[in-house]
C-alpha cells in the first residue's frame, strides 16, 4: 500500500490521453492586452435588451429554473419546435459532451472530420470512446470519407456546419446523404453553432432532419451571433427520447439566472441578430477579396460561411510570422499548429475599423516578406 501524501490518484487512462482545450488568447506572450479576434465572439457585443435583462435578472442567491422553461418556450416559438424537444445547456459544449457520454462508452467509436471542432475529440475521450478522424476534403467535411470510416462500433457522428476552424459548409443534400448512410442506432449530431450566419435562403436541413428522425440531434449556441459567450448558454433539439437522455445526465441547474434571462431577451431581439449577420456578411466578403488579392504572396482564404476566415499561408510569409506580426500590432488571432494547421491562421470578423487595420497589417507583412 502506498502512503505518499504527494501522490494523486491516477485518473482513468482515457482521461490522461486528453489534450485540454486551448482557448483563443486575449493577451500577447509579453502580457499586452490585444484586440481579440481569436474566439469568434460577436464584435457588436450583444443585444441591448439582453444587457438590460442581465441587470435585472433573479437574485444570485436563488437557484435558476432547472428546466429553463421560459427560454425553451421562446426558442421553440422562434424555430417552431415543441419545447419538449429542447434541452438547454451550459453552452453547447456541455450538450456535445453529454451526447457523446449518453451514446458512447469504452470500446465504442465517435466519428468526425479532420479539421473539425476541437471539443469532439475531448467529448469522445472523456467517456472512454475512441475518436475516429475521417480525412477532410479541401479543409471541409468529406461525407464519403465519413461513410468509409463507419464501423460496427460507431455510436456518434459529429458534424459542425458551418465548420470551425475552417468555416466550410456542407449543403443540405450532403447532410441528408450522410444521415441516410447511418444505421438508426448511430446518433448524428449536427452542430449548428454558426447557422445564424448563413444567408436567409441557406439551411443545411438539420432541424427538419431531427424533427423527422429519432437519431439526429441539432445543437445551437448563444455564444456566437447572439454575443452571449460569457453567459454560457446553448441548446439542443431532437427526438424526446434523446432529450430525456441528456436531461438525465446534465447539471440540474446548468443555465444560470443571468444566462436564462439574457438569452430570453436575446431571442426576442432578432433585429440584433440580423444586424450582426449583415455586418458579418459585408466584412467577410471584403476580407476575402483582400486576402485573394494577396494570393501572389501565397495567402489563400478557405471559403467561409461563418464569422471568421481561415487563411492558409503557402508562400514566403508563414502563418506563424503573420500571427506574431498581428500580435505585435495589437491583434490576437488563432494560429492552429495543434489542430494540424501550422500553415493556417483563423481570424474572427471584427468591427469595420478593426478589419481595416488587420487588412493593412496583412498587406504590410505579405509585401515585406518578399
Ligand atoms: C463556438 C462553438 C460552439 C459553441 O460553444 P459554446 O459552448 O456554446 O460556447 C460549438 N460548436 C462549435 C463548432 C463552435 O465553434
Residue 32's alpha-carbon distances to 40, 43, 358, in angstroms, are 20, 20, 17
pLDDT per position as a tens digit, 275-320? 999 999 999 999 999 999 999 999 999 999 999 999 999 999 999 9
- For residue 38, report the phi and psi dihedrals to the nearest 5 degrees: -120, 0
Atom of ligand 1 nearest to the CA of 160: 13
For the CA atoms of 223, 167, 296, 317, the dihedral, rounded to the nearest 10 degrees, stands at: 60
Question: Atom 14 of ligand 1 has which residue's CA nearest to it?
Answer: 193
Tell me, using a 6 A CB cutoff, whether residue 188 lines ligand 1.
no
CB distance 186 to 237 below 8 Å? no
Tell me, using a 6 A CB cutoff, whether residue 229 lines ligand 1.
yes
Question: Atom 3 of ligand 1 has which residue's CA nearest to it?
Answer: 193
Give this prediction's pTM: 0.97
Share of the chain above pLDDT 90, in %: 92
- CATH 3.40.640.10 domain residues, the chain: 48-268
Kindly give the residue spans of alpha helices, DSSP state H, lying in 184-316.
Answer: 206-212, 240-249, 257-267, 270-293
Q: Which fold has domain 23-45+272-369?
A: 3.90.1150
Atom of ligand 1 nearest to the CA of 223: 9
Q: Judge whether residue 228 has pLDDT over 60.
A: yes
Tell me, using a 6 A CB cutoff, whether residue 91 lines ligand 1.
yes
pLDDT per position as a tens digit, 248-284? 999 999 999 999 999 999 999 999 999 999 999 999 9
In the CATH scheme, what is the code of domain 48-268? 3.40.640.10
**Cα 118 to ligand 1 centre (Å):** 10
pLDDT per position as a tens digit, 1-26? 568 999 999 999 999 999 888 887 78
**Cα 229 to ligand 1 centre (Å):** 9
- CATH 3.90.1150.10 domain residues, the chain: 23-45+272-369
Amino acid at each position: 500500500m502506498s502512503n505518499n501524501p504527494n501522490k494523486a490518484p491516477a485518473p482513468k487512462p482515457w482521461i490522461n490521453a486528453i489534450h485540454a482545450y486551448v482557448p483563443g488568447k486575449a493577451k500577447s506572450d509579453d502580457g499586452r492586452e490585444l484586440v481579440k479576434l481569436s474566439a469568434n465572439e460577436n464584435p457588436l457585443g450583444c443585444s441591448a435588451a439582453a444587457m438590460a435583462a442581465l441587470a435585472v435578472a433573479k437574485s444570485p442567491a436563488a437557484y435558476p429554473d432547472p428546466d429553463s422553461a421560459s427560454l425553451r418556450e421562446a426558442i421553440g416559438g422562434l424555430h417552431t419546435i415543441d419545447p419538449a424537444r429542447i434541452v438547454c445547456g451550459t453552452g453547447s459544449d456541455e450538450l456535445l459532451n453529454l451526447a457523446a457520454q449518453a451514446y458512447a462508452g469504452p470500446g465504442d467509436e465517435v466519428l468526425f472530420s479532420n479539421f473539425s471542432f476541437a471539443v469532439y475529440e475531448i467529448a469522445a475521450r472523456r467517456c472512454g470512446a475512441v475518436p475516429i478522424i475521417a480525412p477532410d476534403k479541401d479543409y471541409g467535411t468529406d461525407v464519403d470519407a465519413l461513410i468509409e470510416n463507419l464501423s460496427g462500433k460507431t455510436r456518434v457522428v459529429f458534424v459542425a456546419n458551418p465548420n470551425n476552424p475552417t468555416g466550410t459548409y456542407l449543403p443540405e443534400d450532403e447532410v441528408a446523404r450522410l444521415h441516410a448512410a447511418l444505421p438508426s442506432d448511430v446518433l448524428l449530431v449536427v452542430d449548428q453553432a454558426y447557422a445564424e450566419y448563413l444567408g436567409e435562403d441557406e439551411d443545411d436541413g438539420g432541424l427538419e432532419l431531427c424533427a423527422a428522425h429519432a437519431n439526429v440531434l441539432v445543437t445551437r449556441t448563444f455564444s456566437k451571433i447572439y454575443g452571449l459567450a460569457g453567459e454560457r448558454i446553448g441548446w439542443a433539439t431532437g427526438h424526446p427520447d434523446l432529450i430525456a437522455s441528456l436531461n438525465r445526465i446534465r447539471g440540474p441547474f446548468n443555465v444560470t439566472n443571468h444566462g436564462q434571462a439574457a438569452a430570453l431577451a436575446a431571442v426576442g431581439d432578432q433585429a440584433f441578430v440580423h444586424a450582426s449577420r449583415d455586418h458579418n456578411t459585408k466584412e467577410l466578403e471584403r476580407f476575402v477579396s483582400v486576402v485573394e488579392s494577396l494570393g501572389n504572396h501565397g495567402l489563400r482564404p478557405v471559403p467561409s460561411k461563418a464569422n471568421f476566415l481561415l487563411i492558409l499561408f503557402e508562400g514566403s510569409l508563414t502563418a506563424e510570422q503573420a500571427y506574431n506580426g498581428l500580435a505585435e500590432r495589437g491583434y490576437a488571432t488563432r494560429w492552429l499548429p495543434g489542430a494540424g494547421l501550422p500553415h493556417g491562421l483563423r481570424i474572427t470578423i471584427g468591427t469595420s475599423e478593426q478589419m481595416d487595420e488587420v487588412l493593412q497589417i496583412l498587406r504590410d507583412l505579405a509585401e515585406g516578406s518578399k
